[in-house]
Amino acid sequence: MHDVSLLRLTVLTPARTLLDAGNVAWVQARLADGGGIGVYPGHAPLLAETVTAPLRYADPAGEHTVDLEAGILEIRQGSVTVLTNGLARDAGTADVDRVSADIGPDRLPDRPRSASDASEARFDRLAQALLDTLGEQADEVLGTDMDRASTENERET
């Protein structure tokens, strides 16, 4: 059973799950705004853009680093999910023993020939999928009462 005082860390690409680790004590990532973030159990929900940089985390086996391309970080209810295009090209320090078995240090995913166009298209697909998921969750959390309240407020003004 998953300990509620720990996190589940998942790193996803459009093609596969790169990492799915339970019992994670903390996660550190670099954000697009130039700062870093440390995530511990009980962290508030958050959606943020990451840059190509190492993702660090700790589990019962120790501290680990996975070098990832830029992506989207989502924090919610004891889980941290990173949507990315894959491992960074210079992933020599990547903790590949924790990454799925079909990707090793000598089999890094190839970058597309026109990296900017393909990366933007992948990022757009990932972002849209995440927004769709968040929209569904927001509807569940907010329910129709919030919709009714905003409609009534608009009528009063």
94-108 per-position pLDDT tens digit: 444 444 333 333 333
Inside any domain, residue 43: yes
Residue 150 in any domain: the answer is no
Dump pLDDT digits (tens) for 52-74.
999 999 999 999 999 999 999 99
Residues (pLDDT < 50) of the chain are 1-2, 91-114, 144-149
| CATH number of the structural domain spanning residue 28 | 2.60.15.10
Whether 145 is in a domain gets the answer no
Q: In the 3-class helix/strand/coil scheme, how is the chain assigned residue by residue?
A: CCCCCCEEEEEECCCCEEEEEEEECEEEEEECCCCEEEECCCCCCEEEEECCEEEEEEECCEEEEEEECCEEEEEECCEEEEEECCECCCHHHCCCCCCCCCCCCCCCCCCCCCHHHHHHHHHHHHHHHHHHHHHHHHHHHHHHHHHHHHHHHHHHC
- Residue 87 forms part of a structural domain: yes
103 lies in which domain range?
7-110
- How many structural domains are present in the chain? 1
